[in-house]
Structure formats: structure tokens, C-alpha cells
């Protein structure tokens, strides 16, 4: 990590209390950071707290019944201490987000042009006409054919891939310093996925925007990320640069995730599934959360391990890391 991080999340914890009084710890002691121009992948299965983490950075979690602690430092300011008003000024300007569902994330009642112009006019002191020019420019930059004509289209006329491009154009219209992409390609066909990832990579090169890419797909991580944080049951269990993570995963859960990836360079065997199920987050276990499913479990796993360094630039939340010696 060369430059000072643009975003650094420290010890973030999010607890939801339901109307029945049940408290669910969705995110627990999550820390990570990302530097300008870099892409951080946050990986994990559904329900592990990835999306909650990203929504708390955006300040978009519901206010009622949500308790957040820790620090979210963006450009040196702690977003958890900022007023709603100054958060609104940041959102869509310095800080932008795209979502998993391109089909429903655009308002069906307004043209895509309107929706992009709205974002620009909100944050820049320019007129609608100028903003409209800028919007067409953005549509062109996300490689939408005939951008001037598409400007007047309603979302229902566009395919999923095109809509996600519009979402990206909208998010990048004010040149944010950080883009959070929450499963941006999950709802798209594989060929379209590759196009969108390629587009995001190209735009990052052009603009120097940092990207936090939330995904459950290790293939996507391998393709675009520089660093990775692996999440399990609301915690970051491993952090590493992407090549190292794939070469030597240092947490048993990461090992398990990779085991469930199909490989062409090995004999065809049954894909390894991780036995057991994710713990109930309204009553999380006291010790390591992965212990119940872990093949390397030892008695010490009854107490919770910290996220500890296991090498230069990387850390893992496991008593048995580094794992290399175990394999021997």
C-alpha cells in the first residue's frame, strides 16, 4: 500500500434490533482500508455482512433499530460522526455506490438522462443544460451506443447490462474518490459480466477512483481486485493482496471457498463443499465463528482469535495461521 488510504474502516460493528427485541450482530469488528486508484474486494457468502458493511459506509442503513460503532474514516473524516446533511453532500459526489439489481435500481418513472442530470445538478453549481451535456458524455464513457438518443429513454427500454452501465455513469458523474460496487455483475449474463468488469477497470485507470468491490465470486476478485478482505459471519477473517490470497490462503474458510471453485488444471473431482452452516448471528458462538465447520479445529478455537498479521501486508483471524506448516 503506497498512498495513504482514502477509506479506512476500523472495528466496525453493526447490530440490528428487531421489533421482537431480537438483536442480530450483522457486522462485528470489521477493519479494512483502500488506497486511491486501488480495488479492494470484499468476499464472502450471502449474509456474511458484506452489504451491511458497504451500506454503513454510505450511511444508508435504516436509522431505526440499527446501532453502529467503530470508525469509518473517509478522506480523514469519520463518517459515523458526520451529520446526515454533510453525509448527503458526500453521497453521489465524493462517495458513490452501484448496486446488485440493475433492473430495479433505476426509477421506472424518469428517463435515464433525468436521473443522471439529477445527480450532477445536486452536487455541482451548473445549469441543467450543461449537466445534460455532461450526462451524455458519461453515457458515452460507459460505452452506451447512441448516448444522445438513449438520454431520453426510460429504463424499461434498456437491457440489464445497459442499465448497469447507466448506474455506473450516474455514480461516476461527479468523479467520486471512492466507488462502492455491491455485487455489480451478479444479476448479469456471464458475457455482460466480463464487459462491466472491464469497463470498471478502464474507468478506474482513467479517473483514479478507488473501488470497493463486494462479491461472492472469487473469479471476479481474481479478475479486478488488488487486495481482498474475506468475510465470514460478520467478521473479516483474512486480508491479503490478491495474488498471495490465491497462492496461499491463510484462513481455513478461504481455503474452503477456493475448494468450491471448479478448476481445469486439476483432475476432475467432486467440488469440495464446506460442511455445516453459517452460525445464527443473533446467538453467535463465543469462540472462532468458523470453528464448527473447520477441519483444523483445536481446543484453543473455543476463544475468539484476533485478526493478526501473518506476513507482510496480510493478516488472518485464525489460531493456526500461517497454515503452510499444516499442509506438510
Partner 1 sequence: MLQLIGKRLAQLVPTLFFVSVLIFSLQHLLPGDPALVMAGEERDPVVIEQIRKQYGLDQPVPVQYVMWIGNVFTGDLGESMRLKVPVSELIVQKLPVTLQLAVMAMIVALVLGVAAGVLSAVKKDSAWDYVINVVGLAGISTPNFWLGIMLILLFAVNLGWLPASGYVSPFEDLQRSLATTIMPAFVLGTAIAGVIMRHTRSAMLQALASDYVRTARAKGLSERVVVWKHAMRNALTPVITLGALEFGTLLSGAVLTEQIFSIPGFGKLIVDAVFNRDYAVVQGVVLVTATTYILLNLLADLGYILANPRLRT
Q: Which residues contact partner 1 (rule: CB under 8 A)?
A: 19, 58, 60, 64, 88-93, 96-97, 99, 101, 104-111, 115, 118-119, 122-123, 154, 156-157, 167, 170-171
Q: Which is nearer to partner 1, 115 or 254 (CB)?
A: 115
Q: Which is nearer to partner 1, 155 or 256 (CB)?
A: 155
Cell of 87: 453525509
Q: Which is nearer to partner 1, 104 or 159 (CB)?
A: 104
Q: Exposed e or buried b for every residue in 253-277, given b needs 16+ CB within 10 A?
A: bbbbbeeeeeeeeeeeeeeeebeee
The least CB distance from residue 27 to partner 1, in Å, is: 18
DSSP labels, 245-309:
HHHS--SHHHHHHHHTS--SSS---PPPPPPS-PPPTTS--SS-TTGGG-TT--GGGGSPPP-EE
The least CB distance from residue 162 to partner 1, in Å, is: 16
DSSP labels, 16-66:
EE-TTS-EEEEEEEEEEEE-TT-EEEEE--TTSSHHHHHHHHHT-S-STTE
How far is Cα of residue 92 from the mean position of the Cα atoms in its chain?
16
Q: Which is nearer to partner 1, 50 or 314 (CB)?
A: 50
The least CB distance from residue 103 to partner 1, in Å, is: 8
The least CB distance from residue 43 to partner 1, in Å, is: 22
The least CB distance from residue 180 to partner 1, in Å, is: 9
Q: Which is nearer to partner 1, 97 or 318 (CB)?
A: 97
For the purposes of burial, counting CB atoms within 10 Å of the CB of 227, is it exposed (0-12), middle (13-18) or buried (19 or more)?
buried
Q: Which is nearer to partner 1, 115 or 185 (CB)?
A: 115
Give 316's strand partners.
Answer: 238, 308
The least CB distance from residue 100 to partner 1, in Å, is: 9
Amino acid at each position: 500500500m503506497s498512498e495513504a488510504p482514502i477509506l479506512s474502516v476500523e472495528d466496525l460493528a453493526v447490530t440490528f434490533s428487531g421489533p421482537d427485541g431480537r438483536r442480530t450482530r450483522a457486522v462485528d469488528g470489521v477493519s479494512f482500508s483502500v488506497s486511491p486508484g486501488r480495488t479492494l474486494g470484499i468476499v464472502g457468502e450471502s449474509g456474511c455482512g458484506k452489504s451491511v458493511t458497504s451500506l454503513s459506509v454510505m450511511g444508508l442503513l435504516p436509522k431505526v433499530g440499527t446501532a453502529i460503532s467503530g470508525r469509518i474514516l473517509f478522506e480523514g473524516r469519520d463518517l459515523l460522526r458526520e451529520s446526515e446533511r454533510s453525509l448527503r453532500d458526500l453521497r453521489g459526489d465524493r462517495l458513490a455506490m452501484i448496486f446488485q439489481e440493475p433492473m430495479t435500481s433505476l426509477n421506472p418513472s424518469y428517463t435515464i438522462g433525468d436521473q443522471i442530470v439529477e445527480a450532477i445538478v445536486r452536487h455541482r453549481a451548473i445549469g441543467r443544460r450543461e449537466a445534460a451535456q455532461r450526462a451524455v458524455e458519461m453515457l458515452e464513457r460507459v460505452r452506451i451506443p447512441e448516448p444522445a438518443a438513449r438520454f431520453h429513454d426510460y429504463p424499461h427500454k434498456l437491457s440489464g447490462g445497459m442499465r448497469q452501465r447507466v448506474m455506473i455513469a450516474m455514480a461516476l458523474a461527479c468523479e467520486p474518490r471512492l466507488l462502492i460496487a455491491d455485487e455489480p455483475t451478479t444479476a448479469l449474463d456471464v458475457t455482460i459480466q466480463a464487459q462491466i468488469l472491464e469497463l470498471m477497470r478502464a474507468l478506474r485507470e482513467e479517473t483514479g477512483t478507488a473501488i470497493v468491490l463486494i462479491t461472492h465470486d472469487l473469479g471476479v476478485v481474481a479478475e479486478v481486485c488488488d487486495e481482498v478482505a474475506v468475510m465470514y459471519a460478520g467478521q473479516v477473517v483474512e486480508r491479503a493482496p490478491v495474488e498471495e490470497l490465491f497462492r496461499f490462503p491463510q484462513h481455513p474458510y478461504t481455503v474452503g471457498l477456493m475448494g468450491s471453485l471448479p478448476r481445469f488444471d486439476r483432475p476432475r473431482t467432486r467440488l469440495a463443499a464446506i460442511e455445516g452452516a453459517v452460525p445464527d448471528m443473533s446467538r453467535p458462538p463465543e469462540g472462532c465463528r468458523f470453528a464448527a465447520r473447520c477441519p483444523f479445529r483445536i481446543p484453543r478455537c473455543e476463544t475468539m482469535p484476533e485478526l493478526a498479521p501473518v506476513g507482510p501486508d496480510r493478516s488472518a483471524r485464525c489460531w493456526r495461521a500461517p497454515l503452510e506448516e499444516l499442509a506438510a
